[in-house]
């Protein structure tokens, strides 16, 4: 049974984390408006100043983004009962991590062209975030996502890929969530400087994107389920094998591209996500509408292998 929540009816819980949960919701008073996603603080967090500040900061950043490859958001809102939340668009599809796991389970390969298209879309989205200026005052927002992972890339059934979850993103005007020596994010996708808790900039997102692309190309996790100390050691010291080692369709250009993304020193990586995006689209040598339609068709075929529809998530 749907739960009443301010101006919304909560239809189905999609995900639950340590601080918040995501709900598929229906606006109560807007006829003809489809579902949205509500990200609300858990009851135990809704009275904590740090949790409220985190949600407000996420809303402040995400509400100022405007790009087809980024999930936007409302500013932080609060109900009459003191429940804090964000409103986000409902994306019919699933996250990249779940998609790749299911495709492997049913032994349906994602074509190389579409893997690179997903990577290019993610690079396009994070390039927008990195370059965004505040529409109100024109100041550069200096956004760093800090948690680019397959779980935070949504693949829509329409073939559009979007970056989501700016919950721990850093940006101008947002109170710092961590101090030097503290670490936030998903360890297996962290750049060496982020994992070490030292000073970071936007180039940690380029490294994380490199890990995601490596996994798309190689068809496996770069750092599978290992103890944290082992992952930290490998991030700091190990040069990953070329993706072509695991998939001979991957050419030397893609190997070299990923190798540069995964350089240990930030100055040795690509210096902007825009450069990453441009090179990937150059490699694809095809127009975006064609690639989007091809991904949508592939997803529709994949869905036939599964009882029911593709999982609908904003996670």
Residues that are catalytic: 147
Q: Give Cβ neighbours of residue 311 (< 8 Å, ≥ 6 apart).
A: 94, 98
- DSSP-based three-state secondary structure for 100: helix
Tokens of 222: 């770069």
253, two tokens: 């250009």
DSSP conformational letter for 256: H
Half-sphere exposure of 134 (CA within 13 A, CB side): 14
CA–CA separation, 269 and 298 (whole Å): 32
- Which among 129, 161, 157 is positioned nearest to 62, based on CA atoms? 129
Q: Tell me the C-alpha distance between 76 and 145, whole Å.
A: 18
The Cα 298–Cα 290 span in angstroms is 12
Token representation of residue 78: 């609060």
Distance CA 6, CA 1 (A): 16
Q: Please tell me the distance from the alpha carbon of residue 264 to that of residue 207, in angstroms, as a whole number.
A: 9
Lookup result for tokens 């490699």: 283
């Amino acid at each position: 049974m749907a739960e009443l929540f301010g101006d919304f009816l909560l239809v189905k819980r999609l995900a639950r984390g340590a601080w918040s949960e995501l709900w598929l919701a229906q606006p109560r008073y807007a006829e003809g408006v489809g579902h949205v996603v509500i990200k609300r603080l858990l009851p135990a967090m809704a009275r904590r100043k740090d949790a409220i500040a985190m949600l407000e900061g996420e809303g402040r950043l995400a509400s100022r983004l405007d790009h087809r490859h980024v999930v936007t958001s409302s500013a932080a809102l609060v109900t009459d009962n003191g429940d804090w939340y964000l409103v986000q668009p409902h994306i019919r599809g699933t996250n990249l991590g779940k998609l790749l796991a299911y495709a492997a389970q049913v032994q349906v390969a994602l074509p190389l062209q579409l893997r690179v298209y997903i990577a290019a879309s993610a690079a396009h989205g994070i390039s927008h975030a990195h370059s965004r200026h505040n529409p109100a005052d024109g100041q550069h927002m200096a956004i760093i996502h800090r948690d680019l992972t397959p779980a935070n890339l949504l693949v829509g059934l329409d073939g559009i890929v979007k970056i989501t979850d700016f919950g721990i993103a850093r940006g101008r005007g947002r109170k710092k969530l961590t101090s030097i020596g503290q670490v936030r994010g998903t360890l297996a996708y962290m750049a060496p400087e982020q994992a070490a808790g030292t000073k970071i900039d936007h180039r940690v997102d380029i490294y994380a994107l490199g890990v995601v692309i490596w996994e798309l190309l190689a068809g496996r996790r770069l750092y599978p389920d290992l103890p944290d100390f082992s992952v930290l050691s490998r991030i700091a010291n190990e040069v990953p094998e070329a993706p072509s080692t695991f998939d001979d369709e991957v050419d030397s250009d893609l190997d070299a591209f990923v190798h540069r993304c995964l350089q240990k020193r930030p100055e040795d990586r690509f210096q902007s996500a825009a450069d990453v995006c441009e090179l990937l689209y150059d490699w694809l040598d095809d127009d975006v509408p064609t690639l989007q339609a091809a991904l949508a068709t592939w997803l529709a075929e994949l869905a036939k292998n599964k009882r029911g529809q593709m999982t609908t998530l904003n996670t």
